[in-house]
Amino acid sequence: MLTEVTRRVRRIRGPIVGAIVSLAAGVSIVAGVYSVVAGAMFDPLPYPSAERIYAVWDMGDSSGRRLVPADLVARLNSSSAGIEAAGSYATAEPSLDIGGGQSLKIKGAIVSPPLLGILGAIPIAGRTFDEADADLTAVPSVVVSERLLRDRRIPAQLEGLLVISGIPHRIIGVLPEEFAFPDREVLIWSALRLPPRSGWSGQALVRVAPFVGGGARSALDSAIRAVGAPERLAVVPLKELLLAEVRPALWLLQSAGLLLLVVAVLGGMWGFSTDAWERRSEFAMKGGSGLPSGACCGTTCRTPGLLHW
């Protein structure tokens, strides 16, 4: 009896092991996705008074990126209808000169002067941007992450110069390594400098005043209409904006986890069905040869014309 059980286990060992591995991987991925989603949905954002920060989306933007014209954001920033500040931003991947004729690709963000203040960014050295940094006649200025300064390849220091995409920029401030926006990969923020009527568009954030309270969305809608914005503009909480950016990756991971779970179930079913089919064939041959049940178990059948399973 023990020999028979051992033989059956060996027979289906491959499919079963594969099913167990797939099941473990699938459960791990699904659990990981759940923890990320739960953290993104329920953990507070790492920005002071984040519940007062909203994104402004142009739902009619043909590019699908929901960009808002910078001049409209500037008008919102000057509005007094419950808006504390409004700012624009866009991500970029400039080349950073690290000396010796070499350059390094990094991820950065171009931001209007109010943007870092909206997010409550507090530098550990220097300062963040003010309106003077948007002057086209001034030396371009940047704020860098503490993580960038720790990179020994990059000759950066406060009030020093960084050559970014061939243009010298002055470092005016350093943000703590914990600060991240729009994502953790961004290491440098450059002041947005635009000529009048440039037509440039970017992502937009606004911070509502504390007295607005629970009616923030309706107050923002009214303020947007008051500055002549089109009807297709919409406001959403900052958390919804950040979730929208990672949602495709989360869906992909969840789909991969579910696929592995399906593979695990099918692998287990295949292993057991294969064993059942082999047992059925074995019993059929034994019955036709007149051998007692178990006569061929664990040994090679020597009856002429019989196939050993």
* C-alpha to C-alpha distance for 175 and 184, rounded to whole angstroms: 13
* Rounded Cα–Cα distance for residues 135 and 192 (Å): 9
Q: How far apart are CA 20 and CA 16, in angstroms?
A: 6
Of 132, 42, 47, 53, nearest to 87 (Cα)?
A: 53
Contacts of 113 by beta carbon, 8 Å cutoff, 6+ apart:
87, 129, 130, 131, 133, 134, 191, 192
Single-letter amino acid, residue 223: A
The predicted-structure confidence for 227-274, as pLDDT tens digits, reads as follows 877 778 888 888 887 776 555 555 566 676 666 666 666 665 655 566
Residue 302 in tokens: 């020597």
Higher pLDDT, 217 or 37: 217
Report pTM: 0.68
Report how far residue 33's alpha carbon sits from residue 209's, in angstroms, rounded to the nearest whole number: 35
For 110, 124, 186, 254, the CA distances from 92, given in Å and listed in that order, are 7, 24, 9, 29
**DSSP helix/strand/coil, 225:** helix
The pLDDT of residue 302: 43
Instruction: Among 83-97, 185-199, 203-217, name the one with the lowest average pLDDT.
Output: 203-217
Asked whether the beta carbons of 3 and 242 are under 8 A apart, the reply is no
**CA–CA separation, 53 vs 161, rounded Å?**
32
Ramachandran quadrant class, 305 (left: phi over 0; alpha: psi -120 to 50; beta: rest): left
At residue 201, the 3 state secondary structure works out as strand
69-78, 184-193, 228-237, range with greatest mean pLDDT: 184-193
What is the percent of the chain where pLDDT is above 70? 62
Residue 294 has pLDDT above 80, yes or no: no
Q: Distance between CA atoms of 145 and 121, rounded to whole angstroms?
A: 11
Token readout for 71 is 């001049």
Residues 6+ apart with CB under 8 A from 260: 22, 23, 25, 26, 29
Residue 242's alpha-carbon distances to 135, 238, 251, 255, in angstroms, are: 30, 6, 15, 21
Query: Across the strands, what pairs with 188?
Result: 108, 144
Among left, alpha and beta (phi > 0; psi -120 to 50; other), residue 175 is: beta
Instruction: Please write the tens of the pLDDT for every residue from 101-151.
Output: 889 999 999 999 999 999 999 999 999 999 999 999 999 999 999 999 888
- pLDDT value, residue 128: 97
